[in-house]
Structures are given as structure tokens and as C-alpha cells.
Structure 1
Amino acid sequence: MSSALASLLELPSAEAFDRWLAEPGEWVEEPNERRGGMSGVQRMRTSDGRLLYRKQQIDHCYRDWQHPLGEPTVLREQRALEAFAALGVGVPQVMFCATRRRQGRWQALLVTAALDGFDSLEAIYARGEPLAWSESLRQRIFQQLGNLLARLHQARWQHGCLYPKHIFLRIGAGEQVELALLDLEKSRRRFSVRGAARHDVRQLRRHSSWGEQEWSALNYGYLEVSGHGIEE
């Protein structure tokens, strides 16, 4: 771990929020008003070059039966990131997450490490890179995606915003495939495996333009883990 990052992680809680907030950054998602509050994302680098992303929010809350008065969405996202990682699903590492009340308003920060070498399937397909993939590589990518989604759904977790722009891929030496998921702000546990699976798969169908080969490989990978194919 870099010394600059280590010094931030070792800050006492009373200082940490302000120090993380004071780190310079550049907007990659300009602050916008949603959920009765404001949310935006900045890219930031530590002094020794480590790339991080900082989500900053004010009164950006969700409400459910457990939190009828509202809870900052970064806390739900933090729980999802930690739960997905425990299931073996690739996600960004949480470096810092905290909320506080100031002058009657919620302030929230979530800092995550960049997924070095990864890019979204949306961007990869837009550049036409899959045209150069071998059939075996294409099979492995979507089979592993099926494995990943099945692990998620078998634990009754729903991503909630499963678009190709939130599925990230890295192809390493020897065509080693690694996958990860981003944007877990809407992720939550469902009462049933079927409910989680149907929501995500239907969403992915609507927002992707994959062909029969991709979906067949995805279904096979899903079957390997869950014992049944994808449900819609």
C-alpha cells in the first residue's frame, strides 16, 4: 500500500471525513439532484499516483421499511460492496465510507479504489473489440459472467442497475478473464432468489445487444453454479 494512502487510512475518525473531503479531485460525474439531495463523483490521485474515486453526497437518501426516515445511499452501497466481495464477486475496494449530520443535513463520502486495467463491456463493444475475440475467449467471458450472476442471485442479492456499462472486464496475460461490477447504489437483498434474478436478467436483456452465442454461454455459466438456467 502506498505511504500516502496509508496515512489517509490511519487518520482518527474525528479527522478522517474532512481530510478525505479536502483531497483534490476532478469531477467525472457532476453533482446532480436526486432523491431529494445531491450526489456527484470525483476522480482523485494520492501524491504517489494511486487512483481513487470519491462519491460526495448531501441529503442523498433512500427509504425502506428498515429506514423509514431515510439513510444515506452510500451506506447501502458500502454494505453491498462488502457483501459482493465476500461472495467472490469482483467489486472496487472500499477505502473509506462515512456519514455525518451538519446543520440538519446528511453529508456522506464513499471512497473506492479504481479497477486498474478494467473497462466496461459497453465501452469495449462500442470500440468493436469483440470482433477480434476468439470463440473460446468469448465463451469464457460470458460463462464467467453467468457464474458471477448466479453466485449473486443464489445469495438473494440483486444488483439493481445491471447494464453493460456497469459490468467491467479485464483480459490479462494468456487471455485470463476477470470481471467486476460497479454502481451498487441500488443493490439490495430480495426475499427470493427468483426475484433477484428476474429483475437483473430482464434489465440486462433490455440494455444489451448481445447475440445468441453470448446469452447461451451466460446461461451455461449460470447453470454451472445455480443448477438451473437464467430465469426471466
Structure 2
Amino acid sequence: MRDFIAEADQALLERHGLNAFEQLWELELDAVDEPNTGRGGWSSVYRLELEGKGYYLKRQSDYLTRTLYRPFGEPTFAREFRNISRYQRLAIPALQAVFFGERRINGERCAILMTRALDGWSDLDALLSDWPTFKPAQREAILKACGNLARVLHGAGQVHGCFYPKHIFLRARADGYQAQLIDLEKTRPLLFGLRDRVKDLEPLLRRASVWSGADIRLFLSTYLDQTQDSSLVDTWMQRLTLRRRHKEAR
């Protein structure tokens, strides 16, 4: 597989001599947190700034995921990069890849995934901590942005798999909020219709515990493209409540 370099970032990487796997692999940077060391290898994340633009450079070695189609495993970044590319083709708002490549180094399967940093964006988790201080119009705009994002995601036939507040990033704009997704490793096609959709949304609503019943109705009415007093919204409220109770009872 050839290395991927985003056309919009290629000239910038070339100016800094970082347009090849080897240079990015050997670049000395401080990790933003402790490396993951499960799966028989390691995986680490670094922050990189070039000419005022922020990036996250992720490197891993023998950090593999195994599936029915890839029983011998593949780097987790390979799966995430495929999903990033799929989201882009399907016009689902999500993080953008700048570089991806794989190599065998000393017998180990190594991979690099570089993405644009979401500077100027806030994850929903952080916004929820300030929820009581927001004015009604700001809350409404955030709820609608999240509902629209979920509608686009499922409308494109995809399940995120980790539709949590920390994976939804938002940015204020003149007409409301923009929303997009990160952490696409567990994304898969939406195969089981309603069951998949409820399963994907319930973790968000369970973690967004500061949302009132009215907040959830607004989120669902946007997601379903229905009025807030719609019977369909009532049905979804019931389904999500039942699943939440089931999860909490386990």
C-alpha cells in the first residue's frame, strides 16, 4: 500500500522534510500522554505544529486489531484510516487524515497516522460541564448540531460505535454550531436498522446526564426530522430509556 499524503498538506510537509514515513517515524517529539501498551505492542500520540498549523502524529508498533477478515491482525491505525477515508467519501463530518503509512521495522508491523488538530473546537464533554451556565439559545444550537450529526451518520449507513460526548467536537459559528466526529476505529456499516441506531445513540444520552427530558426531545426531533411533540419522538424516548435501564441494571 502506498503512503497517503493529503494534497492540501503535501507542500507544507515537503518544506519541513516530513513528507515520508521514515522522517515522521524518526522525528523526536514529546508524547501528549502515556503510550498504550496493550495488544502486544505500543501506540503513542504526539503534538506537532508547522507554520502555525496543529497536527497530531500517531505512531505504533505491533499494536494490532484482529477481525474475521484479518485474523492475523493489522495496525489499528490502518482500520482508522480506512474509516476516515470512508467518512470523507460519504460526507460525514469527521477528523481529517494528513498522512498514513505502514512499514515492517525489525520484524514489527509499524504504522503512522497523522491528522489535523481540531484547534478552535471543543468536545461535547467539556461543553456539558458548563451546561448550566449556557443560555437557552446556545443549548438549542448544540443539541441541534449533535442531532444533525447523528442523522447524517446514520443516514449514510454507518454506526460510530463510540458515539460519546468526548468524541463529538463542536465549533460555534454565526448560525449555530458545527459538529464532527473523532475516534473512528470502531465504525462499521449500519446492518440492523433500528436496533443499531438505538444502540449507537444510547451511550451519548446516558453520558450526557445534564441533558433534561426537553433537551433529549430536541436532540431526537432534530435527528428524526420531526416536531418535538411527534409520536415518533415519544417512541424513541421510550426505546432509549428502556435500553438505558437495561445497561444500568447489568
TM-score (norm 2): 0.79
1:158 and 1:196 in contact (8 A); partners too: yes
Question: Which residue number corresponds to residue 168 of structure 1?
Answer: 169
Secondary structure class of the residue paired with 2:171: strand
1:80 and 1:184 in contact (8 A); partners too: yes
Q: 1:142 to 1:192 in 2, by over 3 A?
A: same
**Residue 84 (1) aligns with residue 87 (2):** yes
1:156 and 1:193 in contact (8 A); partners too: no
> In terms of Rg, which structure is larger?
2
Provide structure 2 residue ranges, at least 5 long, that are not aligned to the other structure: 1-7, 227-231, 241-250
Greater shift, 83-92 or 102-111, is seen at: 83-92
Note the C-alpha offset of 1:37: 2.2
Counterpart-to-counterpart distance in 1, 2:76 and 2:196: 19
1:100 and 1:106 in contact (8 A); partners too: yes
Question: Which residue number corresponds to residue 151 of structure 2?
Answer: 150
Note the C-alpha offset of 1:121: 1.2
Where does 1:1-232 land on structure 2 (aligned, <5 Å)?
Answer: 4-7=12-15, 11=19, 16-46=20-50, 48-126=51-129, 128=130, 130-172=131-173, 174=174, 176-209=176-209, 210-224=211-225, 232=240
1:137 and 1:175 in contact (8 A); partners too: no
Q: 1:31 to 1:67 in 2, by over 3 A?
A: same
Note the C-alpha offset of 1:91: 1.6
Runs of 4 or more off by more than 4 Å in structure 1? Answer: 228-231
Secondary structure class of the residue paired with 1:57: strand
Counterpart-to-counterpart distance in 2, 1:66 and 1:8: 38
Question: Which residue number corresponds to residue 3 of structure 2?
Answer: none
What is the identity percentage for the equivalent residue pairs of Structure 1 and Structure 2?
33
Secondary structure class of the residue paired with 2:35: strand
Q: 1:70 to 1:207 in 2, by over 3 A?
A: same
RMSD: 2.5
TM-score (norm 1): 0.84
Counterpart-to-counterpart distance in 1, 2:16 and 2:152: 33
Secondary structure class of the residue paired with 2:225: helix
Counterpart-to-counterpart distance in 1, 2:116 and 2:60: 18
AA in 2 matched with 1:110 = L
1:98 and 1:109 in contact (8 A); partners too: yes
1:153 and 1:193 in contact (8 A); partners too: no
2:17 and 2:23 in contact (8 A); partners too: no
